Amino acid sequence: MSSTESATAASAGVATGRVLVQIRDLGKNYRRGSETIHVFENVNLDIHEGEYLALMGPSGSGKSTLLNILAGLDTPDRGQVVVDGQDVTRMNSKQLAAWRSTHIGFIFQFYNLLPVLTAAQNVELPLLLTHLSKKQRHEHVMMALDVVGLTDRSEHFPTQLSGGQQQRVGVARAIVSDPTIILGDEPTGDLDAASGDEILSLLERLNTEFKKTILLVTHDAHAAGRAQAIMRMDKGVLSR
């Protein structure tokens, strides 16, 4: 499975900013026993600053793998990923961890909040790696919770929150360190329609009001439709 077709420069996209993400000739294989599974080959993609893109595709098409590589959570077999001028594919695990803490905001499908921590503490997690003082961290946390409308739930534990509220905490955690790009892996996939809409509205607001660059992986056409542009990945081929 390979693609020489590129979604270069999200060419027909609406974004006007500088190129924030450059993916070039990216290839990824998995080994399952003696079998090699080609996830994708020669994928090219440019994402501009301030862009809000959706990436759709069936299960196993490689969209989550692409998202993980972009987040520095997985490594490609070939190719290059440059984010904000930094070649992510050349970083070691320590550099990647430090890079992720400042450049990537990740929203998970199943919220993935730590059940032993309150909403505020969950949001604070990425800030524990910074040199911010306790007071500064608190200010950032409350600001992030304010953006997602959950300041009154800051001391609640995840089990005391609805699914939609938990995902909003997840969004607050993703934005609290003011990352370069926000990546969402099916962020509405575990929510009912109303809660899903709330999250999508929140992402739109982050994009329009706060000029955040967002890449959303989703199965849901409705969710994808809320983005500025939709890309599709099928059998390892990325297209717009």
Partner 1 sequence: MTKAGLVWANLRRNKKRTILTMLSVMVAFFLFGVLRSVVTTLDAASEVGSEGRLIASSASGITFQLPEAHASRLAAVDGVSSVSWASWFGAYYQDPNDFFAQFAIKADTYFPMYPEVVITAGSMDDFTRERNAAILGVGLMEKYGWQLGQKITLKGTFVPGDWEFNIRAVYDPPDPAFGDELMFFHYEYLYEGTGGRISPGWFVMTLNQPDRAPEVAATIDAMFKSSVAPTKTQTEKAFNAGFVTMWGNIGFLVSAIGTAVFFAILFVAANTMMMAVRERIGEIAVLKTVGFGNGTVFGLVLAESVLITVLGGALGLLLARLAFLGNTPLNMFFPGFGVTGGTIALGMLMAVALGVISGTIPAIQSARLSVAGALRQVG
User: CB 101 → partner 1: shortest distance, Å?
Assistant: 2
User: How many residues in the chain?
Assistant: 240
Considering only CA atoms, give the Rg of the chain: 18
Nearer to partner 1, 70 or 200 (CB): 70
Name the residue nearer to partner 1 (CB basis): 96 or 224. Answer: 96
Give the nearer residue to partner 1 in terms of CB position, either 48 or 212: 212
Tell me the two tokens of residue 27. Answer: 């290839």
- Name the strands in the sheet holding 35-48, side by side, starting at the edge strand that comes first in the sequence: 35-48, 19-32, 78-83, 86-87
**Nearer to partner 1 among residue 41 and residue 185 (C-beta):** 185
Question: Smallest distance, Å, CB 170 to partner 1?
Answer: 10
Q: Provide CB contacts within 8 A for 105, sequence distance 6+.
A: 173, 174, 175, 177, 179, 181, 182, 183, 212
Instruction: Write down the least CB distance from residue 70 to partner 1, Å.
Output: 12
Contacting positions for partner 1 (CB under 8 A): 64-65, 68, 71, 73-74, 93-94, 97-98, 100-102, 104, 106, 108-110, 112, 114-117, 121, 124-126, 128-129, 173, 177, 185
